[in-house]
């Protein structure tokens, strides 16, 4: 009997049906399972030891990493195009900010550029409109001036609301002036001066009888005032272009809600 047991064991080992090649893949050998489980345990223990050896500050920083600092492996085409246009806008605006400070290439002309920008401020225009309204004696003049006053007030409120929503800063760290704080023109997008001069120029071209040279000068004045804000570093190029667009839309809005002569007379009498 003892001799027959080793012979049967040897016969089982030599039997091809008992080899691993003929076993089901879903039921691997116990020896393979034990080796795999032991290797997994060793790798898990090594990973845990490596995690313990890492600095806790680095682990905290990796967990708290904001999304904007993470690399996007598959960004969308719209995101790439928007970021590219934004980078071009910032670069070109900084290059055109030739009067941003006294040390700039055109720093000596900063006072003159600021003086040109004052012609597009809302406070002088509102004050001038009120003075002309008091001195006006014709119904047509009072009607135009009252609607112009309405347009100026709407411009200040709309631009201030849009700037509060966007909260975009200019290309340079320029502190807003006193008149800017009075008109709540403290952010960059959209440019308040650009929207105001676009609205005023369109308003005057439609409601005043002007010669062709004066009409050309009016358009040039609006363009110069708008881009002077880029030269002093207060706004980006897109801020000025969007300001022109919003100024035109404000003019269209005033045309839709145009106050009649009777309404203007009633408001003047109350005032």
Known catalytic residues are 193, 235
The 3-state DSSP class for residue 137 equals coil
Characterize 147-179 residue by residue with b for buried, 16 or more Cβ atoms within 10 angstroms of its Cβ, and e for exposed: bbbbbbebbbebbbebbeeeeeebbeebeeeee
- Nearest one of 226, 256, 246 to 117, comparing CA atoms: 226
Alpha carbon distance 99, 105 (integer Å): 7
How many CB atoms are closer than 10 A to CB 26?
Answer: 5
The number of angstroms, rounded, from the C-alpha of 148 to the middle of its chain's C-alpha atoms is: 31
Contact 230, 135 (CB under 8 A): no
Q: Looking at residue 25, what DSSP letter applies?
A: T
């Amino acid at each position: 009997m003892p001799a027959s047991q080793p012979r049967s064991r040897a016969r089982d080992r030599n039997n091809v049906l008992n080899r691993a090649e003929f076993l089901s893949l879903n039921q691997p050998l116990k020896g393979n399972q034990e080796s795999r489980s032991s290797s997994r345990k060793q790798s898990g223990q090594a990973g845990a030891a490596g995690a313990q050896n890492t600095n806790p500050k680095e682990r905290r920083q990796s967990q708290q990493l904001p999304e904007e600092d993470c690399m996007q492996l598959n960004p969308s085409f719209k995101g790439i195009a928007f970021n590219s246009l934004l980078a071009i806008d910032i670069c070109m605006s900084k290059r055109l900010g030739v009067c941003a400070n006294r040390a700039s290439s055109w720093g000596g002309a900063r006072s003159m550029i600021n003086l040109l920008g004052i012609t597009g401020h809302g406070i002088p225009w509102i004050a001038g409109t009120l003075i002309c309204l008091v001195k006006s004696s014709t119904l047509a003049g009072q009607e135009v001036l009252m609607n112009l006053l309405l347009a100026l007030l709407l411009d200040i409120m709309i631009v201030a609301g849009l700037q509060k929503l966007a909260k975009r800063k200019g290309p340079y760290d320029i502190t807003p002036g006193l008149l800017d704080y009075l008109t709540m023109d403290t952010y960059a997008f959209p440019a308040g001066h650009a929207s105001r001069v676009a609205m005023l120029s369109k308003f005057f071209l439609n409601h005043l009888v002007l010669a062709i040279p004066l009409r050309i000068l009016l358009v040039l004045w609006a363009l110069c005032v708008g881009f002077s804000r880029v030269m002093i570093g207060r706004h980006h190029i897109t801020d000025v272009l969007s300001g022109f667009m919003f100024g035109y839309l404000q003019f269209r809005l005033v045309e839709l809600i145009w106050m009649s002569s009777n309404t203007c007379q009633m408001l003047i009498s109350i005032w």
